Amino acid sequence: MNVGDAFQIALPPASGSPSVAFTMSKKQQYRFCVGPWNFSQGQDPYGPTVRREESFDWKLAQLKTLGFDAMMFHDDDAVPDIDSKSSKQVLQEAKALKKRLDNEGIVAEMVAPRLWFAPQTIDGGYTSNDPKLRRYAIDRSRQSIDIANELGTNILVLWLAREGTYLRESKSGTRSTELLVEAFDAMLKHDKKIRLAIEPKPNEPMDHAYLPTTGHALAIAQLTKDSKRVGCVIESAHAILAGLDPADEIDFAMSFGKLWSLHLNDQNGLKFDQDKPFGSANLRVAFNQIRALERNGYGKKGEFVCFDVHPFRTTSEKQWLSHLSNSRRTFEHLLAKAKSYPEKEAAQLIAARNYQDLDQLVLEHLMGVL
Ligand code: XLS
Ligand code: MG
């Protein structure tokens, strides 16, 4: 691998607090991003937190040392206890946050309304069966757009966590599609510049979620009043949970010019959403995602690579940041592998329909024996 050409990688010290993890010398196509929730404390449905709580300021301060340039925000990451505050106060706090971000040299990549926590959204937000509660979801989304404006981003991410059912008979799929379109139209109308990036996921917390794949996200865009401003963000684990190859999802979204953000991580089979470090479960699937990004020029229009990863519950406070620096390292290593992929040899094997040897070529390239 020719790492010297493009970047240097230094092992983070055992403290898990890397001082200089990466320096990229050439003009950088890829810029990295993470959310405050990615410094999670290890709670799961079966047990409490196992790592200390760190302040937002501490999390923010780690970004630059890890080589990240942006942070993604839920509305209540940006403004804690958001529902107890007036719109004026919410926007004042968002403005103050923007100053803190500027001081750290970090940009806000997106804002996402956290519609899955509030008591009003137990039965979903936009697709709730109660019109008053649907109004809450739309109002809160409009407020998130105002926060996004204050923070200087025009991307509103919509992970439709509770838009779905536990019970097929409890909601009509046709009506839910109409309600989603109404909600998206209300957001598009609220702000002429905002872009809605739908983050598809097929299940969890719901049994079946609406808009489970990239295809669904891009199809529903066509029903809105401004389809150009409705696109998607792809998360590797979510695609895998839908039984799909994230690389194909990336290629598909980018064929429409609609991949506006990316949540790289990994997932070992069809179970709960694991948010493992990028490449942790399947290096080849990770490699193919990087090839898809390269092939389509992801990042050239300013899109960020976000790692939506969590530390394993077993992670001690010493290794608190390793899932982030490791995901980034794996990304850089696989990028080098994508750049040095023996394209000519591969093309010959493809022309001869010798996929048997193509398979081995990929494996040996990844194993570093070529
Ligand atoms: C959950 C999602 C969430 C979104 C942002 O599965 O990945 O973290 O990325 O709301
Ligand atoms: Mg995500």
For residue range 129-188, list pLDDT tens digits in order.
999 999 999 999 999 999 999 999 999 999 999 999 999 999 999 999 999 999 999 999
Please choose from 34, 199, 275 the residue to mutate so as to test ligand 1's pocket, defined by most ligand atoms within 8 A of CB: 199
Measured CA angle at 61 (ends 56, 64), to 5 deg:
135
Predicted confidence at residue 27, as pLDDT, reads 62
Ligand 1 pocket residue status of 275, Cβ below 6 Å: no
Per-residue pLDDT of 188-233, as tens digits, reads: 999 999 999 999 999 999 999 999 999 999 999 999 999 999 999 9
Alpha-carbon distance of 21 to 11, in angstroms, equals 7
Determine the distance from the C-alpha atom of residue 163 to the mean position of all C-alpha atoms in its chain, rounded to a whole number.
Answer: 18
Q: Is the CB of 308 under 6 A from ligand 1?
A: yes
Is the pLDDT score of 22 beyond 90?
no
Per the structure block, which two tokens stand in for 206? 């719901």
Q: What is the pTM of this model?
A: 0.93
- pLDDT exceeds cutoff 50 at 2: no
Q: Is the CB of 278 under 6 A from ligand 1?
A: no
Cα–Cα distance between 261 and 193 in angstroms, integer?
17
Residue 14 predicted with pLDDT over 80: no
What digits encode the pLDDT tens for the residues 261-275?
999 999 999 999 999
Average pLDDT over residues 12-19: 40
* Residue to mutate, 159, 266, 306, ligand 1, most ligand atoms under 8 Å from C-beta: 159
Residue 19 has pLDDT above 50, yes or no: no
pLDDT of residue 370: 74
Q: From residue 315, how far is each of 90, 267, 274 by CA, in Å?
A: 34, 18, 14
Domains parsed from the chain with CATH numbers:
28-339 (3.20.20.150), 344-370 (no CATH)
74 is catalytic: yes
Examine the residue annotation and report whether 275 is marked as an active-site residue of this protein: no
Q: Name the pLDDT band for 7 (thresholds 50, 70, 90).
A: very low
Q: For residue 26, is pLDDT > 70?
A: no
Q: Which of 26-40, 81-95, 113-127, 354-368 has the lowest mean pLDDT?
A: 26-40
pLDDT digits (tens, 9 = 90+) for 308-361: 999 999 999 999 999 999 999 999 999 999 999 999 999 999 999 999 999 999
Q: What is the pLDDT of residues 146-160, one digit of tens each?
A: 999 999 999 999 999
SS3 5: helix
